Every structure is written in structure tokens, then in C-alpha cells.
Structure 1
Amino acid sequence: MMDRTSIHNPAVWAQPPAGPTATTNLTEQAVRSRIAIIDVLRGLVMLIMLFDHVRETIYLHNQVTDPMTIDATEPALFFTRLAAHFCAPMFVFLTGLSAWLYANPSAGPRDATGFLVKRGLLLVVLEIFAVNFAWAGVFPPATLYLQVIWVIGLAMIFLGLVHKLPIKLIGAVGLLIVFGHNALTWMSFEPGTFAYYVWTVLLHRGYLVAEGAVKLKVTYPLLPWIGVILCGYAVGPLFGRGMTPERRRTLLRAFGAGALLLLAVLRGFNIYGEELPWVHGQDAIHTVMSFFNYTKYPPSLDFLLLTLGVGALVAAWMEPMENWFTRACATFGGAPMFYYLLHLYVLLIIQHVLVALFGANHGERWGVSEVWPVWIVAPLLMPVLYVPCKAFANFKRTSKAAWVRYF
């Protein structure tokens, strides 16, 4: 997301040598690892996202609802989709965290408004044109969908306008939105009114333009994601130079455990945080599915407690790790927009090739009859995507061109 030239340098992961400089090298390693873990986590969720997007390429005919319909969704499909739920919350949260690091470099605080607003606008443009074309294969498609890239862009613009406020206030507003937006879901407005359009953008997915040659639909309402990006920004000092790795990991574990404990209480007793209550299913696996069946559009409180709570625990666990997998994740995570566009167009090409070779067997598309091939195709694509992502990451690290910062 931001310029961090040390992240992809092998020295980031090097063990400090023995000798008089050991203390200094340990300090440098700690400083680098606190930033490298952001790209590692971002890359990890992007790889998880690949499974879901492969599913939407070759298994699209078996759609899932939101929340999922337990009796009509096989467990393998349910848990494949559930894994993908971690992607958007972690990515938006890490965007806020990266924004804090950008605004607070070692040389001292700087104004991040221009960068965040311009990058946010770029993401909105890319969503409308590049992303929609990648999903539909034609432009303009019958429906323009305003999805995750659009909402990240708008959330970045909002953050760019407010990031100079006291960080405690930013964090408090973020938490208020994350915890409070579920209390507003009962509100609705008459289609065609100004309030309807505002509310559709903020909290209720739906059509902004429902008729005509090109329809326009909001699938990622904005308000909860503003809360997530503000919380990510407010957590930034945890990754500041004054925070020791041990203290940071202790706090991350506490945050993660606290979120999951609160989830267990709220969800366990169906108190608050998810409109669809869980019920005992026909067997243990369907009961578990019901318990973890949350609303994503917009993300319910329970959805965010699960995904961000687990994310905090994974961050604490993975930060000290150094191996080929973390380095690969950091490579993917260091060029997020490049990876996102690349993988969508690779999947578009694959779908066209499959139709050309085998013919369409589900409407105009070719698809598999079971979900398990998704688990094979996605890992096979990872090394294919890695090569260009690594090349772009190297270019991004060495290039002086301003535009590469936005990818």
C-alpha cells in the first residue's frame, strides 16, 4: 500500500549476527518486522481471496446467499466462503494501519490527505472501469457493481479528510460505527428519495440505478468500512518505533482474544451483532455453520469480531516468523492493487479458454460440478501470479515514478 522499501529486502528477514553490532541489528530487525508483517498479512488474505474468486470463476452457478442458506449450502462450499470473509475486513483494517505509518514516518508526522484522497479516487475509477470489466468480460456490463475496491477508495478519502483529528477520537468514532451500525439496520426509505440513495450508499446494499441500459448497484455499503479503516488507523501507534515487539504481540493477542470472547457472548446468546440468530442444526456441522453464518453486506458486528479478532491473533503469531511462505506473502502484499487486477484478468482469460475448449455448460459459462476443484486450481495459480507480482514489487521498490506508489 505504502512505500516501504525495506520490506522486500532479504535483510528484513536476516538473523542478526553475533558481535558488537548485535543489539543494533536486533533493533533494526524489530523495526523492519513490525512493518513487514503488514505486507505478510495483506498477502495472506489476498491468497485466501483467490480461492473465493476461483469459485466465482468456475463454480459461479452454485451461488451463495448473504448470510448463507444453511440447508441449501453444502459444508465444503460454506467453509470455502467463510474463509473468504476474512479478506475484506483485514484488507481495510490494514489500509488504515498503513495510512498511519505513511502519516507518521521516522522523520516526523506529515500530511497524508493528498495521498489518501488521490489514491481513493483512483480506486473508485478502477472499480468502475477495470474491475467491472474483469468480472463481466464486457464493458459496459448490464450492471455496474460498486464492490470492495470502491468502498476502500471512499473509506480512504474519508480517512484522508479526518486523519489529523486526535487519534483517540478517530478510534472512538471507528469503534462507535463498528459496534453501533447494527442498531440502524431497521431503517429504510422509499426508493427514489434522496434519503434512500444516501442510505443505500451508507448501509443498505441496493440499486442506485435500477432501470436502463446500465444499472448501478452498491454491494459494499460504506459506513461499516469507514469504522474499520478508522480502527486500523487508531491502532497505528502499536506499530510505532516506540513499541517493543513483545508488547505489541501481547496487545494483539489481548485484542484478538477479547474480540472472540465478546463474539462468543453476543452470538452465543443471540444478543446483538447479527440479525440472523443461530439455531441448532440437523447435526453438529450444521450447528457450527449456523453459529458462524454472518452477514457480509454490510458486515455485521459479529462478522467483524470474528474476522478482525482472528486477524489480530494471526498477526501476533506470524510477526516473528521468517520462511519462504512469509516472504512470498510479503511479495504479494507489497503490490496489492497490481495483484488484484492481475488475478481478475487471469481468471477472466481462464474462463474464456475453458469455454473455447470445452464449451459452455452453465449458461454462457463453463463450470465444475463440485467445489473441490477450486481448492486445486487456486494453489496452482499462486506461483503463476507470484512471478509478475515479484517483478512489479522489484520495479516498485526501485522506481522513482510517483504513480507506482498507488499500486
Structure 2
Amino acid sequence: MTAVSTFSASTGAGAVVNKSRIASIDIMRGLVIVLMLIDHVRERFYLHMQVSDPMDVPNTDPALFFTRLSAHICAPTFVFLTGLSAWLYAHPSRGGVRSPSGFLFKRGLFLVLLEVTLVNFSWAGSFGTFWLQVIWAIGLSMMALSLIVKCPRWAIGAIGFAIVFGHNLLTPVGFQPGEFGYSLWTILHDRGFLLDTGALRIKISYPLLPWIGVIALGYFAGPLYARTTDAFARRKTLVAMGLGCLALLLVLRGFNIYGETLPWVAGETALQTAMSFVNFTKYPPSLDFLLLTLGIAFLLLAWFENRQGKLMDVLEVFGSAPMFFYILHLYVLLILYQIVIAVAGPNHGDLFGVDHIWWVWIISAALTLVLYFPTKAFARFKHSTSMGWVKYF
């Protein structure tokens, strides 16, 4: 979220983002953006090797499994940091307190509109089925948070914890199409078609309820980045949070107690056993999924504190203009794929796909380099302009 701080012009190769911004947050966003790019390249050029949710361990190549697994950190990190940044918006560094409700609602509505227009078109180059995915989920979560922030902070934390730790109890609840409650439950918890007619098809890919819990926890954690919080104390707290999440995961998952509908099993090899252990449901994100991804995110946030270097500068640039990068990379992938189809033609049924997952990483590395320059230019423009609408990107 752009409200973390402001931009001021400065010189030097890596000085696109004003250091009054919280660099570790932008660096963290930048890292997950790069991981997201890899996953979206996979969906464009390796879709003939599809993965299920959770993944089919015995029939999934380990390189593909861990490529997909690395992208799992993206959505929880984005949503958590959105909540955290909402707290920072409400408690600006210059002092005073302001309500974030209006900004959250408008920003959330803007994201929902982006999802059903620019984002949906970017996936197929046309409007057919409307896939309501991560941007839709973040947008609605922000709109929900715009109401939740009216509660005391302790209540916001309680709501977040109750949803994140309790929503797996709702797994047995289900509705069939046409039954009363099906539409609401499809939006909140069960992935499926909200509407499926000949003229209009709407598919809920990101059930909403767990993400409301994550964004509420992000807001609850906001004081970690208050101007009065000591950086060393913040790092200690983040490390404790990260290790706590991973330790709880080891217990819950190790004994298959709670938090994931698919139990882990011993595989034919140690690697397959490890893959089974970290094979979690993303749609909706199970408790174990969130413990793993947020646990890693907390440790990385602690590690990024006061980190410097060219790599950190690059990640910080990506993280300072995330929505611009998100839309840009989707359309670059759309155009690139259409060019490849026109030149080489499909080689896997109706699809074109590369022969090995290594090519996904190579293409992603090249696109990361190419997209850095327009993202850097937009970040400079975004943080220096007075045009309010630009801040939404």
C-alpha cells in the first residue's frame, strides 16, 4: 500500500524510493512479486503440466512442486502487509491518528473493478469466464477491514485469530449449486462457480473468509512498525512470530492433528515424504498453509531489516509499485504468449509450452530484468506526483 510513506526525489542508482519509507516492507513485497512472476510464467508457458490443489505428490516433478510451493508465500504476504500498511496509514509518522476506513473501502473497490476488467482480460485476451482471483480477494478483504477497523485493536486481533485458526472447522460445511446459501458460501469458503450460464460464467478462485482473517492480523501487527518501536525489538518479535508459526506447524502437521484436510504420508523416497509434509491446500488457504507462508514471511521481514545492496535496491523498487508491476507483467505475458503462438504454433494440444521447468525460471529472470526499468520509472513518477489516482498503483 502506498500509504507507508512518501517519495522524494534523490540521486543515485538505487535511490528511487525515499528511505523514509519502510524499506524492509517494500523489499518483502518485491521478493514476493518476483516469485509471483515465476508462477505466472509457469501458468503461461508450462500449463500443459498442470498442478492440482493440493498437489499430487507422486505424479508431480519435484522441480515443478517446489516452484509452485515457492509462490504460495505471495498471497498471504501481500494480504498481511496490506493490513499492516493500513495501520501505518491510520498512524502516520508525522503524528496523529486518522481513520483508514474511507481509503480502505475506495481502494478495495478499485481493486475489485481492476479484477473484473484489466486483470480478467489479461489472462485470455478476451472476456469469457470471469475469474475472481487474488486481486478480488484483496479488494474485498480491504472493504471488510474498512468495517473491522472501527473495533478496538484487541477485537481486531481476536477476529483475525479466530478466522485464521478456526476456518478449517468449516471444511465439512458445503452447499450444492441451487441450494440456499451456496452463493454466499462459494464467496466465503468453497471454491466454485458463483454463476454458470451460457451467457455469463463467474468462478470464485480465491474464497474470501481466510483472507479477511489475515488482513485483520496484519492490521493488528501494525504497531511493530510504529515510529516509537525499537528496530531491534521489532526484529526479535518478528523472529519469535516466525519461529512460533513454524513450531506450531510442526506439531499440528507432524501429528496430522488439525489445520489441513489432506494428511501427509510417507512416500517412496525421503524427498516425496518432505513434499507430502508441506503439501497444503491454497483454495481456501488452510491453517497449515498460512502458518508455513506467514512464518517464512516474518523471518524474512526480520532479515530484511537494514539490509543494503543492489539486490535489495532492485527488490525495493519492485515492491514500491506493486500494482503497476502486477498489471504490466500480465499484459507482457499475454502479448509474449500470443507472439509465440503465432510464430511457433501450439505444441501441447491447443497450448504452447516449454519442455522443462528450467525454461520457466530462465524466462522469469529475463522478464525481471526487462520489467525493472519501467517499474523504476513508474515508482519515481508515482511517489513524486500529486495526482491522487496514481497512488492506487
1:173 paired residue number: 159
Contact 2:7 2:384 in 1 (8 A): no
The separation in 1 between residues aligned to 2:181 and 2:298, in whole angstroms, is 36
2:131 paired residue number: 145
Contact 1:278 1:290 in 2 (8 A): yes
Q: How far apart are residue 337 of structure 1 and its match?
A: 0.8
2:217 paired residue number: 231
The separation in 2 between residues aligned to 1:274 and 1:321, in whole angstroms, is 35
The separation in 2 between residues aligned to 1:8 and 1:97, in whole angstroms, is 26
Give the AA of the match of 1:111. Answer: S
Contact 1:7 1:330 in 2 (8 A): no
Equivalent residue pairs, number: 388
- Does residue 90 of structure 1 match 2:77? yes
Matches within 5 A, 1:43-192: 43-105=30-92, 106-138=94-126, 140-141=127-128, 143-192=129-178
Unaligned runs of 5+ in 1: 15-27
The separation in 2 between residues aligned to 1:400 and 1:194, in whole angstroms, is 48
Give the AA of the match of 2:232. Answer: E
Distance 1:225 1:335, change over 3 A: same
The separation in 1 between residues aligned to 2:179 and 2:319, in whole angstroms, is 41
**For 1:145, what is the secondary structure of its paired residue?**
strand
Q: Which moved more, 1:359-368 or 1:99-108?
A: 359-368
The separation in 1 between residues aligned to 2:374 and 2:6, in whole angstroms, is 18
- Does residue 5 of structure 1 match 2:6? yes
Distance 1:233 1:51, change over 3 A: same
Q: CA RMSD, aligned part only?
A: 1.6
Give the AA of the match of 1:346. Answer: V
- The one-character-per-residue Cα deviations of 1:308-337 (angstroms, maximum 9, x if unpaired) are 001101110111201111111111111111
1:23 paired residue number: none
- The one-character-per-residue Cα deviations of 1:164-207 (angstroms, maximum 9, x if unpaired) are 32111101110110000001010012321341111110000101
Q: How far apart are residue 223 of structure 1 and its match?
A: 0.2
Give the AA of the match of 2:114. Answer: L
Matches within 5 A, 1:205-284: 205-284=191-270
Give the AA of the match of 1:299. Answer: P
The separation in 2 between residues aligned to 1:226 and 1:294, in whole angstroms, is 19
Distance 1:215 1:249, change over 3 A: same
- The one-character-per-residue Cα deviations of 1:271-310 (angstroms, maximum 9, x if unpaired) are 0000000000010110000000000000000000000001
**For 1:111, what is the secondary structure of its paired residue?**
coil
Q: How far apart are residue 394 of structure 1 and its match?
A: 0.7
Give the AA of the match of 2:2. Answer: M
Q: How far apart are residue 116 of structure 1 and its match?
A: 0.8
Q: How far apart are residue 36 of structure 1 and its match?
A: 1.6
TM-score, normalization by structure 1: 0.92
Q: How far apart are residue 6 of structure 1 and its match?
A: 4.4
Unaligned runs of 5+ in 2: none
Give the AA of the match of 2:170. Answer: L
Q: How far apart are residue 211 of structure 1 and its match?
A: 2.4
Q: How far apart are residue 237 of structure 1 and its match?
A: 0.2
Give the AA of the match of 1:5. Answer: T
The separation in 1 between residues aligned to 2:369 and 2:275, in whole angstroms, is 32
Contact 2:189 2:284 in 1 (8 A): yes
**For 1:398, what is the secondary structure of its paired residue?**
coil
- Does residue 322 of structure 1 match 2:322? no
- The percent identity for this pair of structures is 56
Q: How far apart are residue 366 of structure 1 and its match?
A: 1.4
Q: How far apart are residue 9 of structure 1 and its match?
A: 5.4
**For 2:253, what is the secondary structure of its paired residue?**
helix
Contact 1:280 1:286 in 2 (8 A): yes
Give the AA of the match of 1:135. Answer: W
Contact 2:9 2:384 in 1 (8 A): no
The separation in 2 between residues aligned to 1:7 and 1:89, in whole angstroms, is 30
- Does residue 312 of structure 1 match 2:310? no
Matches within 5 A, 1:289-308: 289-308=275-294
Give the AA of the match of 1:64. Answer: V
Contact 1:145 1:217 in 2 (8 A): yes
Distance 1:194 1:122, change over 3 A: farther
Q: Which moved more, 1:37-46 or 1:190-199?
A: 190-199
**For 2:203, what is the secondary structure of its paired residue?**
strand
Distance 1:263 1:213, change over 3 A: same
Contact 2:265 2:276 in 1 (8 A): yes
1:397 paired residue number: 383
